[in-house]
A and B are shown apart, each in its own frame.
Chain A
Amino acid sequence: MALLEGKDLSKFFGALAAVDQVDFQIEAGEVLGLIGPNGAGKTTLVNLVTGVYPLTRGELYFEGRRIDGLKPAVIARMGIARTFQIVKPFPGMTVRENVVVGALFGKGGAQRNIKTAFEEADRWIEFVHLQDYRNDSVDRINISFRKRMDLAKALAMGPTLLMLDEVMAGLNTKDIEEMMALVRRINRELKITLLVIEHVMKAVMGLCQRIIVLHHGRKIADATPQEIVQDERVIEAYLGERYAKARQRSA
């Protein structure tokens, strides 16, 4: 049984099909990549899974239980955590307080005790190497730190499935390396299943065992990274029809 399964997922905004009849599965323990051009429906898919938007059509199952129609907080407490493409920190709080929110609520309603929740938060702050900044106000740390804080907050929730929405975006090469190392540890040491949305191809190729490609809301490919880079439809979606045709002619 897949950890997360989407059947015939569709989401329409008016006449626009943001996600269109997508079937997909995430197996427990894997790192699944989700790529596609801007506006392909990647973040919408995450918003469907987390219950932010109701489905127009389709069914969602997590650990065999149907989750579509549930409230975001209920889904979060079942063990699905996410980070945000545009990070959404709690600006009135310190780094530590941000992370403690994840520990206080999170999976199963998590910690009811403030003290143990703070200990938990400190563990995750160290995990993402932010211990020197834990008492800083969020608006005083840079984007790379905010992304890591968002990650620590999601980890403090104790999720089974973690969806990372462009955690590499806006980072420099060195920060990307560090973030990739973190993501690997999350999957291998913490045994957390990951869905990774990413535009940084080096990261997607290096991290994912399998990749799903969305284009205009439809799933156009679902294969290993090696197969994906060879796929004509994917190349066409990413690099344009003309480039793909030119490539076909020369081949």
Chain B
Amino acid sequence: MKNKKQLLIAVLIGLGFVVLPLLIEGYWIRVISSIFMYGVVTGALNIIAGFAGYAAFGNVVFFGIGAYSTAMLMLRVGFPWWGGCVIGAILAAFFAVVVGFPVLRLRGHYFAIATLGINRAVEQIALDWGSFTGGGKGITLPLPQMEIQSFYAMIYFILFGLLLLTLLTNFVIARGRLGYALRAIRDDEDAAEASGIFAPSCKVIAWAISAFITGLAGGVFAYWFSFIEPATVFDIMIAVKAFVMMMLGGAGTVMGPVLGAFLLELISETVWGQFLTIHMLILGTIVIGVVIFIPRGMLHLFRQRFSLSALIRNIKNQSI
């Protein structure tokens, strides 16, 4: 009964987003598209960081790989945008497998730092290999041969579709064997292995899925903005924002990361668009607020019916 009701609400919200472009103007279509994109990046991050508990701060490297692969394949090989996106995502996943086996042996902060290093290294390659990638000047993609309004509407639907794919992936993982393995690894990796879970392969699979989706998002981003440069697509702030969104919504849940993306992007567009200079201050305050007041995310708070006692309990638990 409860599940049916939830499904109905989900379908209604989904339909709402389908008809929304008819009602809103160009600016808001771009804002919602950007929310979708962050929903995708955050949902992908959730697979490795939320379920498996591996803080992949450098996950943005897959975004950059997806973006650059799409750009290179379109410009140098003449691929259609979607072909570039898919190949870029496959390359990102492959890269995750190659670096994953050594790097996922590290735990905690060491893993987080290693992923940051990988991101910087790949960014440096994109910068220095100017003859191929365009280097620090960036690179311009072929412009779409259509009217700008319908192009933005198309991007909106592509990203909406990607978001649904991300949600579906998270849902399938959460309900399946892989999800239980990842959560067990997050909670206690030694106990997980003692239960017969092949932790290294599970982590690599999770990271590859995460990389694939992030790579797709990067590819669409490149096509959408039709200009990319290393500083934009390897920007660590993309990953930091995704982390804040994931924690805000609820790490390790299916809907939480997407919910977080919506909340934070809406705040960012409506509130700190007005305060450009203290933008980072607000982000920092949100991080601290989340950790203190809702360490398990909004979704958990909703489940506790937003009660004051739940909030107080969260604060009390901090001191322990």
Contacts and interface: CB of A to CB of B under 8 A. Distances in A.
B180 A88 contact: no
B187 A93 contact: yes
B190 interface: yes
Interface in A75-93: 76-77, 81-82, 84, 88-93
A112 B183 CA distance: 17
Q: Which of A72, A97, A107, A109 has the most chain B CB atoms inside 10 A of its CB?
A: A72
Interface size, A (range)? 20 to 34
Interface residues of B, number: 21
A89 B183 CA distance: 12
B252 A92 contact: yes
Given A92-B252, A104-B177, A114-B177, A73 B193 contact: yes
Nearest to B199: A73
A104 B191 contact: no
A91 to B, nearest CB: 6
B187 A112 contact: no
B193 A101 contact: no
A130 interface: no
Contacts of A52: 190, 194
A82 B197 CA distance: 14
Contacts of A50: 194
A157 B195 contact: yes
Contacts of A112: 177
Contacts of B193: 71-73, 76
Contacts of A88: 188, 190-191, 194
Instruction: Tell which of A82, A90, A93 has the most Cβ of chain B within 10 Å.
Output: A90
B171 to A, nearest CB: 13
Interface in A86-118: 88-93, 97, 100-102, 104-107, 109-110, 112, 114
A84 B190 CA distance: 10
A157 B196 contact: yes
B184 A90 contact: yes
B188 A73 contact: no
Contact of B197 (A84, A100, A105): A105
A97 to B, nearest CB: 7
B120 interface: no
Given A76-B196, A105-B181, A105-B196, A92 B187 contact: yes
A148 interface: no
B44 to A, nearest CB: 20
A153 interface: yes
B192 interface: yes
10 contacts: A81-B194, A84-B191, A88-B190, A91-B187, A104-B180, A105-B196, A106-B195, A106-B196, A114-B176, A157-B195
Interface of B: 175-177, 180-181, 183-184, 186-188, 190-199, 252
Given A107-B196, A153-B195, 9 more contacts: A72-B190, A73-B193, A90-B184, A91-B188, A92-B186, A93-B187, A102-B196, A105-B196, A157-B196
The 8 closest A-B pairs by CB, nearest first: A105-B196, A90-B187, A88-B191, A76-B196, A72-B193, A77-B196, A88-B188, A73-B193
